[in-house]
Amino acid sequence: MATDETDNQFATKAVHSGTKHIEGAVNTPIFQSSTYELTEERYAGWAAGAQHTLLYSRLSSVNSDAATEKICAMECAEDGLLFASGMAAISTTLLGLLSHGDHCVSAPDVYGGTYGLMTDELPRFGIEVTFADMTDPSSYEAAIQDNTKILYIETLSNPTLKVADIPAFADIASRHNLLLIIDNTFTTPWATQPIAMGCDLVIHSTTKYLGGHSDIIGGAVVGSAELIATLFPKKVHFGGCPDPHACYLLERGMRTLHARMPIHVDNSLELAKRLEQHPMISSVNHPMLEGNNQYEIAQKIMPRGTGMLAFTVDGGDDAALKFIRSLEIVFEATSLGGVESLVECPFNTSHIFVPQEVRIAAGINPGFVRMSVGIEDIEDLWNDLSQALATI
């Protein structure tokens, strides 16, 4: 889909926002420096809280400022922070905003690392988490307690690609005076802008689509200036800052987000439609398929679609493994959002520690495959999937 004026000039922001034309450079130069000269102005910035003062690269750097400004422009956020990884962004946000005795509502099918943080780490600090159903906002409301502070959702769940009805969650959060935090990694601001739908903070693993080339690990949190100012000292204390070079690569990757995403989503929907007809495929998870039970919600939340795809191969996990190991173009690897197609089976990767009965209850049946559809030629991708399915 072409970008247009309804995007709030998304493409122009992607290309230009944040870029620092230092010494007339077209691109932000890489400032590979851990520290900066202490001038009068910087001493004053330090005294004032330092969030936007170049002092020391754990706090901020020229390259993190540039990439932060671009994400904020894309997400229509007032301010933001970059981190060394998506998990650093998530853990700093939750540990920074929740204290002993507080409670958070989330879902069991959030990203596995987030689930681990919520089940293994937060309780050690006296923070309680209740898991509800991300496809049923009323289940979140039913889980709210007197000490609840945060509702935590993901735009699209991993790996079954269930869509969160963001405005319905925002309504619940605002009626109960809670913070609504969303991980928007799977859809990106090109497809979904959660702040406009009522979210307070938006989190990204920038490792994925924003970076877009499977060459960095990074994370981001964006939202109101007030909330970001609250989180800034937490980032400084926990220390999960990004390296300037990774920020540079992130900024460069984001400049083509709007050009890459239409190919990801077109390829993914086309493969979903063809796989639906394939005799070796028992089911396809893709929210933009008309037969999907969340099609209507997906049209509201992410009408441009997704580059993610999941399907179940007949013959169980052994057949799925044979299939993915026969692929010649599509690469067997975890992660997502890069220009190349990647495929994995959740049972031996992201959900390896989840008991099989829990996986099945979540819709991850034997033979389940998750694919991050890249921007290769669609016929090459289809031929590759077809020849690999023929080997089962």
Where do contacts with ligand PLP occur on this chain (CB under 6 A)? Answer: 85-87, 111, 113, 154, 158, 183, 185-186, 205, 207, 217, 219
Of 338 and 388, nearer to ligand PLP (C-beta) is 338
- Which tokens in the block code for residue 194? 């959660």
Is 318 catalytic? The answer is no
Name the residue type at position 335. Answer: S
Q: CB of 75 within 8 A of CB of 202?
A: yes
Euclidean distance between CA atoms 44 and 159, whole angstroms: 48
Q: How far is the CB of 134 from ligand PLP (least distance, A)?
A: 12
Of 350, 371, 363, the C-alpha closest to 112 is 350
Of 205 and 306, nearer to ligand PLP (C-beta) is 205
Q: How far is the CB of 225 from ligand PLP (least distance, A)?
A: 24
Give 231's contacts (C-beta < 8 A, 6+ positions apart): 81, 92, 93, 96, 97, 221
H helices present in the chain, as ranges: 10-16, 40-47, 62-75, 86-97, 112-116, 137-143, 166-175, 188-191, 225-238, 244-254, 257-276, 295-301, 316-325, 356-361, 378-389
Closest residue to ligand PLP using C-beta atoms: 86
Euclidean distance between CA atoms 212 and 260, whole angstroms: 8
Of 154 and 384, nearer to ligand PLP (C-beta) is 154
Is 300 catalytic? The answer is no
Q: Long-range pairs for 346-355 at CB < 8 Å and ≥24 separation?
A: 346/159, 346/370, 347/317, 348/317, 348/321, 350/111, 350/112, 350/158, 350/159, 351/112, 351/159, 353/112, 354/112
Q: How far is the CB of 69 from ligand PLP (least distance, A)?
A: 20
Of 53 and 205, nearer to ligand PLP (C-beta) is 205
Pairing outcome for strands 148-154 and 79-83: unpaired
Instruction: Determine which one of 183, 200, 317, 384 is catalytic.
Output: 183
Q: How far is the CB of 237 from ligand PLP (least distance, A)?
A: 19
Of 117 and 272, nearer to ligand PLP (C-beta) is 117
Q: How far is the CB of 182 from ligand PLP (least distance, A)?
A: 10
Is 325 catalytic? The answer is no
Instruction: Determine which one of 56, 111, 152, 248 is catalytic.
Output: 111
Instruction: Determine which one of 70, 149, 208, 359 is catalytic.
Output: 208
Of 50 and 129, nearer to ligand PLP (C-beta) is 129
Is 58 catalytic? The answer is yes
Q: How far is the CB of 233 from ligand PLP (least distance, A)?
A: 21
Of 216, 139, 153, 152, the C-alpha closest to 186 is 153
Instruction: Determine which one of 58, 274, 300, 322 is catalytic.
Output: 58
Annotated catalytic sites, by residue?
Answer: 58, 111, 183, 208
